[in-house]
Amino acid sequence: MPIGTQRLWRSRVKNGLQTLLIMAGLALVLAVPGYLLAGGLGIVMSLGVVVAGALAGSWVPARYILADAGAGLLDRHQAPALYRLLDTLYQRAGLSRPPQLFYAPSPDLNAFAVGTRHDGGIAVTEGLLRTLTLRELAGVLAHEVSHLRHGDTRVMSMAAAMTRLTLWLTTVLQLSLLLMVPLILAGELHLPWSLLLVVAFAPSMSTLLQLALSRNREYTADLDAVALTGDPEGLASALAVLERHHGRWLATLFGRHPPAGLDWLRTHPPTEERIRRLMSVDESLESPLHDHHDNHHKPAVINERPGPMGRRYWMRRRR
């Protein structure tokens, strides 16, 4: 097995185990306030609500947000070069559905996966299309294809649901404790400090675990993108461009240097670490998607910008 392939598989296994541990931690943090409110039944009900909510809302909210933001669905004749890339990436990723590419008329540099591997697609902004070369876009698209391939949208939806429900349950506990203050002051009720600590810190712990899960899935998607494109330098170059763009925005917001503690609240890992990991993969699973033709160092050509999908699009599944 090539060295690069070994590193990719070791990283996948490591990140997969970390994902399981983080999800278990989120479930544990959620189970504690559920147990304090209703015992074992509270645990079962809270976890059941999370699973049902995540499954029911895994594709509707994403499509609704796209339609509400004025995004449009790019047809093949409008972006032939990008669809040729996506066809190859989908084939290498083992996705049987034909790709869908959405266009958002925003100057921001952004791309994100929408829906699931069975009925999903990838959205890109005008700013991203104008800024990145075709080679860099291939790396970004491969990253988003990996999110679809592994169902990351559903995983993150479940994690977000756990965090929200943890916040709601601890809020109920806090209100209950306020109502018990007269009994506590009268000495008729004694509460353990452990209960107070859970009520105080459970929402923060759940939020930090959710952010850690997001960063974990980004690392995994980066490595899978390398496996799909055979070109770690393309994605690394794209990440460097995105970091320069977002770094300028952070500098205008916080001054010359953003606060060091801000990294704890980022949904994506530090760009320097992502690039270091990418460049440490010296061999890949697939032959490169591109050659060194000049066209791959130019922005992708969009023949025609689509109009907005309309607010009812999210209700319609793809045939």
The residues annotated with a catalytic role in the active site are 144
CA geometry: angle 259, 264, 270, nearest 5 deg:
85
Residue 147 makes CB contacts below 8 A (sequence gap 6+) with 112, 113, 153, 217, 221
CA geometry: angle 193, 199, 203, nearest 5 deg:
140
CA-CA distances (angstroms) from residue 83 to 79, 160, 179?
Answer: 6, 31, 60
64: how many CB neighbours lie within 10 A of its CB?
A: 16
Give one word for 101, left, alpha or beta, with left for phi > 0 and alpha for psi -120 to 50: beta
Give one word for 79, left, alpha or beta, with left for phi > 0 and alpha for psi -120 to 50: beta
Residue closest to 84 by CA, chosen among 319, 308, 301, 317: 301
272: how many CB neighbours lie within 10 A of its CB?
A: 11
